[in-house]
Amino acid sequence: MRRVRSVNGWLLAGAVGLTGVLSEIAAQAAPGRSVKGATGSKVTGTASTTQTTATAGSSAAAARRRAARRHAATTTADEQAQATQQAQAAAQQAQADQQAQLQAQQQAQQQAQLQAAQQAPQSSSASSGSVSGGS
């Protein structure tokens, strides 16, 4: 019982550790987004207008970068989903191949048994025929 408890404890610790590692990998693959406050303020004057225009331009660039990251994350997620589906399809195909191979083996065994059963009476009648022919 102690050994089972120890194994269960190690399995639980391994599962928690693996969960942490996988979540770290996911966090690196799809980083979060932070929301920044508006940096430009509406103040009258030429310098202020120039600053607001520059801020709007940088905000547009930032929005484009965010959109590109979102698109990349979506594309990556789609590619991962497609890879998962392909792996599942390959696993299903491998399972179907194994089942077909097993069925073929079973059929071959049944045919071999059937042939052996058919040959057994023939060999016994051939041996009895040679005995009767010799007498």
Percentage of the chain beyond pLDDT 90 is: 8
Gap between the Cα atoms of 62 and 36, Å rounded: 10
Q: What is the mean pLDDT of the chain?
A: 74
Alpha helices in the chain (DSSP H): 2-29, 46-134
For residues 29 and 76, is the Cβ–Cβ distance under 8 A? yes
Q: What is the pLDDT of residue 18?
A: 92
Tallying the residues shown for the chain, one arrives at 135
Whether pLDDT at 15 is above 90: yes
Q: What pLDDT band is residue 71 in, cutting at 50, 70 and 90?
A: confident
pLDDT tens per residue, range 89-108: 888 888 888 888 889 999 99
- Would you state the pLDDT for residue 45? 45
User: CA 46 to CA 56: how far, in whole Å?
Assistant: 15
Quickly state the pLDDT bin for 13 (edges 50, 70, 90): very high
What is d(CA 44, CA 126) in angstroms, rounded to the nearest whole number? 119
